[in-house]
A = this chain, B = another copy of it.
Amino acid sequence: MLTLYSYWRSSAAYRVRIALNLKGLAYRQVPVHLVQDGGQQRAADYRALNPQQLVPLLVDEVNGGARIAQSLAILEYLEEVFPVPAILPGDPLERAQVRALALHIACEIHPLNNLRVLQYLSGELGVDDAAKDAWYRHWVATGLAAVEQGLDVFAGRFSLGDRPGYLEACLVPQVYNARRFACDLAPFPRIRQLAERCEALESFRSAAPEVQPDAQ
C-alpha cells in the first residue's frame, strides 16, 4: 500500500500523482494544506514524518513504512521498485537526457517560484505584486526556453516514443503553473503540444490539481 502526502496545487506532488498513474499503482492520498493553519507541512505530526516540511512525501507500507521525500527521489524509487511499465528509457544516455530536462524544471524553474519563495519576496523583501509576477515569469520564460530546445531530440514524440514518462510527469505540472500565472507559452510550441497530448490521457487527467480531493 502506498500513501501520498500531497497538496492539490503543489506541482511537485502533481509530478508524483502522474508517475503513480503511469505505473498503474493504486495509492491513498492524504492532503497537507500548505496555507491553512500557517502551513500544515510545519505541524509537529507532519514534521515527524517528513523533516523537510514539504510535500510530496511517499510512504510505502509494504517496504517497512519507508518514507521518501522529494518528488524526483520518489520517481526514481518507483522506477526501481515497480519497474514495469518504465517511466525512463533504457539507454543511459537517453535516461540522462530525460533527467537533465526534468532537473532543469525541478532545479532552475520551480524552486524560484514556489509558495514559500513568493511569500519571502512579498514579506521580508517587500516586493510588490507586479515585480513578483515579473520574477515568476522571468524564471518560467528562461527555463522553458532551455526545455523547448532540449525537446528537439524527441522529434515531436513522447519521451518514451509512443508514451509519456518521467519527463512529462515534470513538464505538465510546470505548464500548469505557467498558465496559472499567465506566462506566455507562445514561444514554446513543442512544450505546448507535448503538454496537450499528455493532458488528453487519463493518467494525466486524473492527476490534475482541480480533480484532487482537497481541491478548492
Contacts and interface: CB of A to CB of B under 8 A. Distances in A.
Interface of A: 51-54, 60, 63-64, 66, 68-70, 72-74, 76-77, 80-81, 92-93, 95-97, 99-100, 103-104, 106-108, 110-112, 117, 120-121, 124-125, 127, 131, 134-135, 138, 146, 149-150
Contacts of A73: 96, 99-100, 103
A70 B80 CA distance: 21
Most buried by B among A60, A66, A69, A149: A69
A63 B96 CA distance: 12
User: How many identical chains are in the complex?
Assistant: 2
Interface majority SS on A: helix, strand, loop or mixed? helix
A117 B112 contact: yes
Contacts of A110: 107
Nearest to A106: B107
Contact of A104 (B60, B69, B127, B149): B69
